[in-house]
């Protein structure tokens, strides 16, 4: 039985990956930090066979202890402060966790090492935010980076550190440059889920409007459940490498609104959306569109869920859970 250690186990991707790997017969361990972490119960219910191990990306000894305890075949480093807007307000903490956390996890893997004939394989969650003010469209593995946020800068550090450990210590360390990936488990702070959840509440008469920032930026949105398969495929290759994971399609926030409101049965979204400058960012990433040719050809990976299916899946899930909350008489938010 293969053993996998996942950091960021309580996040959207950690939850998908834990279930995906359990389905492949892995014994899955999730790194969890903080006393009485409120999300621990949720992940334990979702993945009953999952083992939680204590550790913090800010604390190298705890990471070494976790890797020693688990003796993993594969480590997936998904833990990060991942909300770009927050990274402007907590830039130092973002550098500490999203950036230096990668270095610490790689050090733990290097120090513990694994069996001589079966060294630990490492996956780093790199991000399309590294492309930032894009130099070309679509973006591929060779496109230069130009990050636009403390989050993007920290991800570039993590990406190059992963490359460096691969080259300097011959680690099987790969990075997935994942473009935005969403789904019903996405946090409510991200724009897609904020829209589908608010829309469900509008439909149920629980809310009047959605306050949003910049509607003109465009993103290459895929389904998170599809993307965790690409992470796993990278670690099954003989050679470690970097791969763009994306759909190759891009849509503006306006287009997301159009599709979501149409699915919910509205002709026009504009009366329901107001602009709130609090959601504008000091520097914006205007357009992302990934070229995943390498992942398609080398990993034989391709996304399965289309843009429209993704929006529908998220809206329907939010409608069902908001309806259930309303029926249980939970207080209005
Ligand atoms: O913003 C605009 C906002 O926060 C998308 C993370 O997973 O993907 C994600 O980063 C766009 C931006 O995601 C609101 O200005 C407008 O242009 O959903 P988001 P993100 O910043 O693209 C990458 C790949 C990651 O790696 C990150 O970890 O939507 N926008 N109005 C808004 N965004 C938010 N959150 N809220 C608004 O009200």
Spell out the per-residue pLDDT of the chain, length 333, in tens: 999 999 999 999 999 999 999 999 999 999 999 888 889 989 999 999 999 999 999 999 999 999 999 999 999 999 999 999 999 999 999 999 999 999 999 999 999 986 777 899 999 999 999 999 999 999 999 999 999 999 999 999 999 999 999 999 999 999 999 999 999 999 999 999 999 999 999 999 999 999 999 999 999 999 999 999 999 999 999 999 999 999 999 999 999 999 999 999 999 999 999 999 999 999 999 999 999 999 999 999 999 999 999 999 999 999 999 999 999 886 655
Q: Do 62 and 159 share a structural domain?
A: yes
Q: Is residue 293 part of a domain?
A: no
Q: Which of ligand 1's atoms lies nearest the C-alpha of 276?
A: 38
Q: Is residue 21 part of a domain?
A: yes
* Nearest Cα residue to atom 27 of ligand 1: 82
The DSSP letter of residue 134 is -
Q: Do 149 and 270 share a structural domain?
A: no
Q: Do 274 and 208 share a structural domain?
A: yes
Q: Is residue 297 part of a domain?
A: no
Catalytic entry in 26, 76, 123, 151 = 151
* Nearest Cα residue to atom 23 of ligand 1: 180
Range of the domain at 195: 191-219+250-288+306-327
Q: Is residue 260 part of a domain?
A: yes
Identify the pLDDT of residue 199. 98
Q: Is residue 230 part of a domain?
A: yes
Q: Do 113 and 258 share a structural domain?
A: no
Q: Do 268 and 154 share a structural domain?
A: no
Q: Where are the alpha helices (DSSP H) in 113-211?
A: 150-169, 191-203
Q: Is residue 332 part of a domain?
A: no
Q: Do 136 and 257 share a structural domain?
A: no
What CATH number is associated with residue 17?
A: 3.40.50.720
Q: Is residue 257 part of a domain?
A: yes
Q: Do 110 and 93 share a structural domain?
A: yes
Q: Do 102 and 153 share a structural domain?
A: yes
Identify the pLDDT of residue 34. 82
Q: In angstroms, what CA-CA distances link 268 with 209, 250, 313?
A: 13, 21, 20
Asked if 299 and 237 touch (Cβ cutoff 8 Å), the reply is yes
Identify the pLDDT of residue 126. 98
Q: Do 75 and 30 share a structural domain?
A: yes
Number of separate domains in the chain: 2
Q: Is residue 82 part of a domain?
A: yes
Catalytic entry in 47, 62, 126, 127 = 127
What CATH number is associated with residue 315?
A: 3.90.25.10
Please state, in angstroms and rounded to a whole number, the distance separating the CA atoms of residues 169 and 165: 5
Q: Do 119 and 211 share a structural domain?
A: no
Q: In angstroms, what CA-CA distances link 205 with 67, 195, 199, 201?
A: 49, 15, 10, 6
Q: Do 269 and 147 share a structural domain?
A: no
Asked if 3 and 27 touch (Cβ cutoff 8 Å), the reply is yes
160 is catalytic: no
Best residue for ligand 1 mutational test, from 82, 84, 253 (most atoms within 8 Å of Cβ): 84
- Count CA atoms closer than 13 A to 129's CA, side-chain side: 25
Best residue for ligand 1 mutational test, from 191, 214, 219, 222 (most atoms within 8 Å of Cβ): 191
Predicted TM-score (pTM) above 0.85: yes
Q: Do 206 and 90 share a structural domain?
A: no
The label of the residue with tokens 């080259």 reads 167
């Amino acid at each position: 039985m293969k053993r996998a250690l996942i950091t960021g186990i309580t996040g959207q991707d950690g939850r998908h990956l834990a279930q995906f790997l359990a389905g492949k017969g892995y014994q899955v361990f999730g790194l969890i930090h903080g006393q009485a972490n409120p999300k621990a119960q949720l992940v334990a219910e979702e993945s009953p066979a999952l083992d939680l191990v204590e550790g913090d990306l800010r604390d190298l000894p705890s990471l070494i202890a976790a890797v020693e305890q688990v003796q993993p075949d594969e480590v997936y480093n998904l833990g990060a402060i991942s909300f770009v807007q927050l990274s402007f307000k907590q830039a130092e903490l973002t550098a500490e966790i999203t950036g230096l956390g990668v270095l610490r996890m790689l050090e733990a893997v290097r120090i513990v090492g694994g069996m001589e004939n079966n060294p630990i394989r490492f996956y780093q969650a790199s991000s399309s935010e590294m492309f930032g003010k894009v130099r070309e469209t679509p973006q591929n593995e060779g496109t230069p980076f130009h990050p636009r946020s403390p989050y993007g800068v920290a991800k570039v550090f993590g990406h190059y550190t992963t490359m460096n450990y691969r080259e300097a210590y011959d680690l099987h360390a790969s990075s997935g440059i994942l473009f935005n990936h969403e789904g019903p488990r996405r946090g409510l702070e991200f724009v897609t889920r904020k829209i589908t959840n608010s829309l469900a509440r509008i439909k149920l008469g629980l809310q009047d409007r959605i306050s949003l920032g910049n509607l003109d930026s465009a993103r290459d949105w895929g389904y998170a459940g599809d993307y965790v398969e690409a992470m796993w495929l990278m670690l099954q290759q003989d050679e470690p490498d970097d791969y763009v994971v994306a759909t190759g399609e891009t849509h503006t926030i306006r287009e997301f609104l159009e599709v979501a409101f149409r699915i919910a049965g509205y002709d026009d979204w504009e009366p329901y959306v107001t602009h709130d400058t609090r959601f504008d960012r000091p520097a914006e990433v205007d357009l992302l569109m990934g070229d995943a040719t390498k992942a398609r050809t080398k990993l034989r990976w391709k996304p399965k869920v289309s843009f429209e299916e993704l929006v529908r899946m998220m809206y329907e899930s939010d409608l069902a859970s908001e309806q259930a909350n309303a029926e249980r008489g939970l207080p209005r938010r």
